[in-house]
C-alpha cells in the first residue's frame, strides 16, 4: 500500500508544482455495530470509509483538499485545489508556518492485541441476549439494552519531506443498560456510563464472565435506585469513582488545556479557556496531589498511538505536576503559535477534516490512599459513580455534572444509596480541593469515542484513566422539578 501512496504523492506533486511541501494523510475505517433491546434484535451495522486529505504548504499557508477519489487523477486534482486554497489565504493566515510542523517521521504502529480473531456474529448476539437476561433483574425493569462495537482505523501518512507512517488501531466498545420504573420514579443504570467501556485492543477486552456479572449488578442497582431517597442538597466531601473521574478530567482539565482554545480558535463553537498562556509554568491548577499526564502508551486505553496525524512522535508528558500547570495540549502548530510546550495531539476525526489540538489519553496519576482508608477518613460525604449528565461553560469554569448512582458516607462508612446525585463547582477551586487520590488498586481505564469540537465539527476518541478521588466541600444536590 505504501507504494500506492508514494505513487499518489507523485501525482499530487504534479498537480501542485508550486507547493513548498505536500503531505497525504490517508484514513480507512472499518466498523461493526451490534445491538439488542429487551433481548430482541435491534440493529446490525457495518461501516466502511476511506479517503485522503491532501495538504499543501505555500508561502507559510496550508491549504487542504479531502477526497475519497484515490486515483492518481483524483489526487492530482485535490492537490491543485489545495494549492488554490493555500494561495488564496496566504495574505490572511493566522500564522506563517513552515514544514517543521510536519516532521519527517518514519513509523509503523499497531495496537497490542492478545486475541485477534473476531468471534462469529451469532456468538456476539448470544452474549448480548444472555446479558439482557441478567439486566432484567426484576419486574421493575422496563427496558434493557446491550451493545458490542468493534473496528479498526488505518492511517498512512507520506510527505515530500520524507514522512512515512503506518498505524493500525483496533478498538472494542460495549454497553449495558437497564431502565427501571416504580410509579412515577424511573431510574437508569448502565455499566460504566454511555460508551465508557471503549478501549483499544483485541477480543481479550470482551471479558464475557465479567460483563455478565456487571449486567446482573447493573439491573439490580437500577431497581435499588427506585427505593432510594434523592441525593441531599448540601456541601460535603465528594468521592468520585474512576468512571466519573474520566468525565471530570475530560471537561475541567482536558479541554481548558487545549492550546487552540487558549489561542481563540474555538471561541465561536466549543469555547475558550480560563487558562492563559502566561499560566504555564506557575499556575496552581489543583492541590499538590494532582498529577495529570498525557500518556499515549497505556495498553488498552483508547487513544494510544505512535504518532499524531501530522507525524509528531507521541510520548508521555506530565501536564500538571504536583498541582502546577507545566505543559499544554498543544500540537507542533500550537506550540509554534503560542511558545508553550505541548504534546503530540494534532488529530482528526477522519480524512475529511483537518487535524486540530485534541486530548488523547489524559490521565490522573495514582496516589497512595487505599479506597478503604479513603472512606474511613470521611465523616460526611457522598460517593458518586457513572456519569449521566455533563455541562460546563465555554471557558471551562462553572460545571455541573450528574451521576447514575450515589452512596452516602457517614462517619467513615458507606451507608445509604441515593438517586439522582449531582454536583457543581468551578474547575480550579474544585481541583484545589482534591484531598485524597487513590492508589494503583483503584486505577481504571475508560474512554469515549464522542468528544466533539472544531469547525467544521469533529468527534474523536479519547481515553481517560484515574484512581478514585476525594474532593472537599463540594455542593451536591438531587433531582426533581
Partner 1 sequence: MKIDNKARFDALTHRILNELQQGEYAALAYYGENSDFMRFNNCKVRQSGTVLQTELTIKLWKDKKSHTTQLGLSGNFAKDDELVSEALSSARALLPLLPDDPYQAIPDGSSVSEASYKGSLLDSKDIPSRILEPAKGLDFTGLYSQGYLCRAAANSSGARHWFETETFLLDYSAWLPNGRAVKSSFAGREWQDSLYKDKLDSTKKAVAKLDAEEIVLKPGSYRAFICADALVEVTDFFSWYGLGERGLRQGESAFLALQEKREAFSPKFSLTQDFGLGVQPRFNENGELAPERLDLISSGKLVNTIVSSRTAKQYNIEANGATEGEDVRSLAIAAGNLAEADALAALGSGVYVSNFHYLNWSDVQAARITGMTRFSCLWVENGKIVGPIKDMRWDESLYNMLGTKLVDLTKERQLIVDSMTYERREVGGCLLPGILVDGLSFTL
| CB of 199 vs partner 1, minimal distance in Å | 23
**Which value, to the nearest 10 degrees, does the dihedral of the CA atoms of residues 436, 440, 441, 444 take?**
90
Contact 50, 184 (CB under 8 A): no
SS3 223: helix
| CB of 340 vs partner 1, minimal distance in Å | 16
Contact 376, 237 (CB under 8 A): no
Instruction: For the chain, give the number of residues.
Output: 481
The label of the residue with cell 504523492 reads 9
Between 415 and 457, whose beta carbon lies closer to partner 1?
457
Contact 320, 292 (CB under 8 A): yes
| CB of 50 vs partner 1, minimal distance in Å | 6
| CB of 122 vs partner 1, minimal distance in Å | 4
Between 108 and 473, whose beta carbon lies closer to partner 1?
473
Q: What is the DSSP letter of 79?
A: H
| CB of 103 vs partner 1, minimal distance in Å | 19
| CB of 443 vs partner 1, minimal distance in Å | 27
Q: CA 56 to CA 78: how far, in whole Å?
A: 10
Between 3 and 92, whose beta carbon lies closer to partner 1?
92
| CB of 449 vs partner 1, minimal distance in Å | 13
Between 48 and 297, whose beta carbon lies closer to partner 1?
48
CB atoms within 10 A of CB 332: 21
Is the alpha carbon torsion for 226, 229, 231, 233 positive or negative? positive
Between 335 and 369, whose beta carbon lies closer to partner 1?
335
Q: Which residues contact 141 (CB under 8 A, 6 or more apart)?
A: 135, 178, 179, 180, 219, 222, 223
Output the nine-digit C-alpha cell for 68. Answer: 475519497
| CB of 230 vs partner 1, minimal distance in Å | 10
| CB of 15 vs partner 1, minimal distance in Å | 12
Angle in degrees, 0-180, between the axes of helices 208-226 and 121-135, rounded to the nearest 10: 30
Between 394 and 439, whose beta carbon lies closer to partner 1?
394
Contact 29, 47 (CB under 8 A): yes
Full DSSP string of 293-350: EE-TT-TT-TT--SB-TT-PBP--EEEEETTEE---B--HHHHHHH-----S-EE-SS
SS3 119: coil
Between 412 and 478, whose beta carbon lies closer to partner 1?
478
Between 262 and 445, whose beta carbon lies closer to partner 1?
262
Report which of 392, 380, 334 is spatially closest to residue 476, judged by C-alpha positions: 380
Between 122 and 282, whose beta carbon lies closer to partner 1?
122
Between 147 and 374, whose beta carbon lies closer to partner 1?
147
| CB of 33 vs partner 1, minimal distance in Å | 9
Contact 245, 471 (CB under 8 A): no
The label of the residue with cell 498537480 reads 15
Amino acid at each position: 500500500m505504501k507504494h500506492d501512496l508514494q505513487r499518489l504523492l507523485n501525482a499530487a506533486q504534479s498537480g501542485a508544482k508550486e507547493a513548498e511541501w505536500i503531505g497525504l494523510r490517508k484514513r480507512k475505517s472499518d466498523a461493526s455495530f451490534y445491538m439488542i433491546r429487551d433481548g430482541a434484535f435491534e440493529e446490525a451495522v457495518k461501516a466502511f470509509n476511506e479517503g485522503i486529505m491532501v495538504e499543501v504548504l505555500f508561502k507559510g499557508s496550508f491549504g487542504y483538499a479531502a477526497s475519497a477519489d484515490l486515483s492518481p487523477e483524483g489526487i492530482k486534482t485535490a492537490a491543485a485545489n489545495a494549492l488554490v486554497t493555500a494561495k488564496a489565504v496566504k495574505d490572511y493566515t493566522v500564522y506563517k508556518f513552515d514544514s517543521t510542523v510536519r516532521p519527517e517521521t518514519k513509523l509503523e504502529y499497531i495496537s497490542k492485541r492478545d486475541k485477534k480473531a473476531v468471534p462469529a456474529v451469532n456468538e456476539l448476539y448470544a452474549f448480548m441476549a444472555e446479558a439482557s437476561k441478567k439486566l432484567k433483574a426484576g419486574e421493575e425493569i422496563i427496558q434493557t439494552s446491550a451493545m458490542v462495537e468493534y473496528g479498526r482505523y488505518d492511517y498512512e501518512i507520506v510527505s515530500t519531506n520524507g514522512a512515512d507512517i503506518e498505524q493500525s488501531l483496533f478498538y472494542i466498545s460495549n454497553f449495558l443498560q437497564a431502565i427501571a420504573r416504580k410509579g412515577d420514579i424511573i431510574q437508569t443504570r448502565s455499566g460504566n456510563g454511555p460508551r465508557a467501556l471503549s478501549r483499544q485492543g483485541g477480543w481479550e477486552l470482551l471479558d464475557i464472565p465479567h460483563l455478565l456479572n456487571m449486567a446482573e449488578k447493573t439491573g439490580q442497582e437500577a431497581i435499588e435506585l427506585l427505593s432510594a431517597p434523592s441525593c441531599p442538597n448540601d456541601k460535603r466531601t465528594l468521592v468520585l469513582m474512576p468512571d466519573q473521574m474520566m468525565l471530570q478530567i475530560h471537561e475541567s482539565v482536558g479541554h481548558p488545556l487545549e492550546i487552540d482554545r487558549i489561542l481563540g480558535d474555538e471561541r465561536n463553537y466549543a469555547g475558550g479557556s480560563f487558562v492563559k498562556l502566561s499560566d504555564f509554568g506557575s499556575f496552581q491548577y489543583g492541590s499538590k496531589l494532582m498529577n495529570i499526564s498525557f500518556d499515549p502508551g497505556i495498553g488498552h486505553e483508547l487513544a494510544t498511538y505512535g504518532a499524531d496525524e501530522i507525524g509528531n512522535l507521541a510520548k508521555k508528558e506530565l501536564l500538571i505536576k504536583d498541582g502546577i500547570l507545566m505543559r499544554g495540549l498543544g500540537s507542533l502548530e500550537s506550540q509554534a503559535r503560542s511558545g508553550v510546550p505541548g504534546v503530540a495531539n494534532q488529530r482528526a476525526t477522519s480524512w475529511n477534516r483537518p487535524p486540530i489540538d485534541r486530548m488523547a489519553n489524559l490521565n490522573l496519576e495514582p496516589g497512595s490512599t487505599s479506597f478503604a482508608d479513603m472512606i474511613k477518613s470521611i465523616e460526611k460525604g457522598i460517593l458518586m459513580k457513572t456519569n449521566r449528565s455533563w455541562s460546563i461553560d465555554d471557558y471551562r469554569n462553572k460545571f455541573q455534572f450528574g451521576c447514575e448512582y450515589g452512596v452516602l458516607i457517614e462517619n467513615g462508612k458507606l451507608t445509604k444509596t441515593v438517586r439522582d446525585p449531582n454536583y457543581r463547582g468551578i474547575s480550579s477551586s474544585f481541583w484545589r480541593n482534591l484531598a485524597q487520590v487513590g492508589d494503583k488498586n483503584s486505577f481504571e481505564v475508560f474512554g469515549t469515542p464522542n468528544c466533539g469540537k472544531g469547525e467544521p465539527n469533529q468527534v474523536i476518541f479519547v481515553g481517560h484513566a484515574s484512581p478514585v478521588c476525594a474532593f472537599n466541600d463540594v455542593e451536591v444536590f438531587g433531582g426533581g422539578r
